[in-house]
Amino acid sequence: MIKFDRFKFHPLKKKWNLLDLIINLKDCIKSKSISDNFLIKDISSINYPEKDTIIFIEKKNTLIKKKQINSLLIFDDFDNYNNSKNKNKIFVIDLSKTYWKVINMLLFHEDSIDFQDEFDFIDNSYISKFAHIDQSSKLYNNCIVGRGVTIGKNCIIKNNVVIKNSIVGDNVIIGDNSSIGTSGFGFDLNNMGACNILPQIGIVVIEDNVRIGSNCTVDRAKIDTTYIGENSMIDNLVHIAHNVQISNNACLAAQTGISGSTKIGKNLISGGQSGFSGHLKIGDNVIVAAKSGVTKNIPDKSVVAGFPATDINKWKKMIIKQRKDGHK
């Protein structure tokens, strides 16, 4: 994962050390084992654990690294908690609420009312004082570029584009009315409503030469990055959810949707109105026919169609059979 300075995007509210934080979380905590104190320098994810951070571990993340990490692990499963050899660990009643509380203690984010940004009005667009746009790049009118954003060389950002919480490479084109770096769908069915939204404190990384169409949405990651690899071409009205990883040279036709955390290999070609479930692993050189619904991992070089998506030749046979049977 590309490293980034989270607080450039989501400013630090207050520096906390571990023991003070623990005190503030006492209503959430069922059990704890703390043998250390340290200045908390960030949140990190179980996929990219970092020293001196807080790491939230859902029940389903059965993988508990055996090697210790000098961080605070927060569990919502007692067995996981109990089996962890980490020096600092707590077991909480409600992981979502604890996450919500910790993030809101630690930093500002755009779904909290106290988030602040300052804008200059430059060439008909609002550019954050804390953004950096290479002077060779061009913005059309009515764009918003939020705090922390960097935009590389020779980019063309069309009209009414919103770019927040994103690092954009060189030669990128983004179409009109697209929304980049927006809040991922951070809901917990047990804690519904805008008040309980799980703060999304990651970013979007868009590599060189990417082309994004009009009226698209690319959500930033929960903690890490949503990633769109080099030379990828994205058509209109496409939705890329939080934590999606798209490798180089993807070609996504209009109205495609990719759900959260799905990883896509190189050279994907996806027809229009296709959908991908979350947390999938799609291989390299995969072709997905239009209107497919991909619900399972796909190996390299597959060509799939239908819903649930399956090998296109099998799908064709199935369709022919269905039609024949239907006429009986």
Interface with a second copy, residue 327, by CB under 8 A? yes
Query: Which range in 16-24, 43-51, 65-73, 165-173 contacts a second copy by CB under 8 A?
Result: 165-173
Residue 99, SS3 per DSSP? helix
Q: Which of 179, 200, 226, 247 binds a second copy (CB under 8 A)?
A: 179
Residue 61: partners with Cβ closer than 8 Å, 6 or more residues away: 46, 80
d(CA 76, CA 28) in angstroms, rounded, equals 10
Binders of a second copy in range 231-290 (CB under 8 A): 231-233, 235-237, 239, 241, 249, 251, 253-255, 257, 259, 269, 272-273, 275, 277, 290
Q: Which of 61, 154, 285, 297 binds a second copy (CB under 8 A)?
A: 154
Interface with a second copy, residue 323, by CB under 8 A? yes
Name which of 23 and 189 has its Cβ closer to a second copy: 189
**Bond preceding residue 308 cis, omega within 30 of 0:** yes
Name which of 76 and 219 has its Cβ closer to a second copy: 219
The catalytic position among 132, 242, 279, 327 is 242
Q: For residue 290, give Cα distances in angstroms to 145, 230, 270, 295.
A: 33, 23, 7, 15
Long-range (24+ apart) CB contacts under 8 A made by 282-288 are 284/247, 287/312
Cβ of residue 28: shortest distance to a second copy, in angstroms?
Answer: 21
Name which of 25 and 103 has its Cβ closer to a second copy: 103
CB 277 within 8 A of CB 261: no
Q: Which of 172, 205, 244, 298 binds a second copy (CB under 8 A)?
A: 172
d(CA 294, CA 265) in angstroms, rounded, equals 14
Interface with a second copy, residue 230, by CB under 8 A? yes
Query: Which range in 29-37, 40-48, 99-107, 216-224 contacts a second copy by CB under 8 A?
Result: 216-224
Cβ of residue 312: shortest distance to a second copy, in angstroms?
Answer: 12
Interface with a second copy, residue 317, by CB under 8 A? yes
**Order of strands across the sheet with 150-151?**
132-133, 150-151, 166-168, 203-206, 225-228, 245-246, 263-264, 281-282
- Say which DSSP state 107 is in: B
Burial of 262 (0-12, 13-18, 19+ CB in 10 A): buried
Binders of a second copy in range 293-312 (CB under 8 A): 293, 295, 306-308, 310
Query: Which range in 1-9, 32-40, 100-108, 166-174 contacts a second copy by CB under 8 A?
Result: 166-174
Clarify whether 10 is annotated catalytic. Answer: no
Cβ of residue 25: shortest distance to a second copy, in angstroms?
Answer: 23
Cα 165 to the center of its chain, rounded Å: 11
Of 252, 241, 155, 154, the C-alpha closest to 202 is 241
Q: Which residues are identified as catalytic?
A: 242
